[in-house]
Structure 1
Amino acid sequence: PWPISDEYPLAWFSPDPRGVLEYKNLHIPRKLNSALNKNKYTVTFNQQFDLVIQACAEAKRKDQPGTWINQEIIDCFTQLFEQGHAYSVEVINKDEEVIGGLYGVCLGNYLSGESMFFKETNASKIGLVTLMQHLHQKGVDFLDTQMVTPVVASLGGTEIPRSDFIKRVENRGSRERQEIFST
């Protein structure tokens, strides 16, 4: 879904080409790797979905008046989460504050990243890299990012033709969110 206008508040967003982040192409910049190795943060999955989606909705975006995440989107994704079809990643500092994270859709072995936020430098990237490492351990080799943003590009994200993306999604198999995010 992608909000477009008051007349068409939700539209299906299926870009061509499609942005993906594949584990085999995952690039962890030196400063980010240093932050990951300092173990100053705890990363959890599916523990504070409501907080994460709200923080994504309220995130300040450069050169944008706000985000596309309105109350209708929050309600829809919250329902998907309750049904086991959405996930969240929380990055927590030593003071037990959620200072970064992301959320997305989880259908079988298909996962998308919908939005991220950070309150401390690199916090959303730490969440995304940790998610990719976890997914790799569970046999999930890519994350649908829809677009390749500067953050996704810095981590190795690439674009593939929509037709290739659809073929890859069709061959994903089926697993429950609980299985993918079990430790």
Structure 2
Amino acid sequence: MTQRNFAQFFKNPREAKEDLIAVGGDFSAERLLYAYTHGIFPWSEDPIRWYCLDPRAIFDLNNTHFSKTLQRKIRQGVYRISFNEAFEAVMQGCAYREKDNTWITGGFYKGYSQMYRLGWAHSVEAWNEKDELVGGVYGVAIGKFFAGESMFAFQSDAGKIALYHLFEKLKTSGFILFDTQQLNHVTWTLGAYEIPKNSYLDRLQKAVVSQEKWIIPQ
């Protein structure tokens, strides 16, 4: 499908009066790339619903908040941190719920796994001393823009520590926008805040001028 066809499928987020931008479509990499570079993301399957929220929650990579206890664990190297070693396992960890249903369903696995194989999606993993995956985060990187999709922890602070290391790599690479979509208690305590939709779209436009893939620095 061409850019023109995607533009016809999705409402223009700047003109839309509601958060819901489109219903239907698929999780193809082409559609996901168009969506993310225009401030849109999928939030459900069957049918797929596409949103651009107002307000939008973001992180300032130079002003994040990690507690002293968390920083101590980071210095001590409580968990081994890796990048892109277990992308699908991280998605599965993020999807795990004891009781509630999860929004990360089969179409999300297929679509974002394809994005990972093409070099657009990335994961950060936290491993314990038994080399068990106990935390992680994944998201989409385009140009100097990162969309954080989800985070999980099976052991204390494992997800937050993975996120800390992601932030550090993004800063090293000169990223200028980290999208966390909707504010919640965890992201708020880490320093996320809300901005108006159009301000977000202005920042996004600058961040994706060069739609290059992220080469993670060693």
TM-score normalised over the length of structure 1: 0.90
Matches within 5 A, 1:68-79: 68-79=103-114
User: Which of the numbers 180, 192, 195 marks the counterpart of 1:145?
Assistant: 180
CA-atom RMSD in angstroms: 1.4
Q: Which consecutive aligned stretches of 4+ in structure 1 deviate over 4 angstroms post-superposition?
A: none
DSSP-derived class of the 2:44 partner: coil
Residue 134 (structure 1) aligned with residue 165 (structure 2) = no
DSSP-derived class of the 1:171 partner: helix
Aligned-partner Cα distance in 2 for 1:65–1:90: 24
* Structure number with larger C-alpha Rg: 2
DSSP-derived class of the 2:148 partner: coil
Partner of 1:32: 70
DSSP-derived class of the 2:124 partner: strand
User: Which of the numbers 7, 23, 30 marks the counterpart of 2:61?
Assistant: 23
Residue 88 (structure 1) aligned with residue 129 (structure 2) = no
Partner of 1:42: 80
Shift of 1:138: 1.1
- Provide, for residues 149-177 of structure 1, a one-character-per-residue CA deviation record: whole Å limited to 9, x for no partner: 11111111000111011111111142322
TM-score normalised over the length of structure 2: 0.76
Contact 1:91–1:101 (Cα < 8 Å) also in 2: yes
Contact 2:145–2:176 (Cα < 8 Å) also in 1: no
Shift of 1:59: 3.7
DSSP-derived class of the 1:55 partner: helix
Aligned-partner Cα distance in 1 for 2:165–2:125: 10
Partner of 2:11: none
Contact 2:173–2:217 (Cα < 8 Å) also in 1: no
Aligned-partner Cα distance in 1 for 2:183–2:63: 13
Contact 2:144–2:177 (Cα < 8 Å) also in 1: no
Gaps of 5+ in 1: none
Q: How many residues align?
A: 175
Aligned-partner Cα distance in 1 for 2:100–2:110: 21
Q: Which moved more, 1:32-41 or 1:153-162?
A: 32-41
The percent identity for this pair of structures is 34
Aligned-partner Cα distance in 2 for 1:76–1:31: 37
Matches within 5 A, 1:120-131: 120-131=155-166
Gaps of 5+ in 2: 1-41
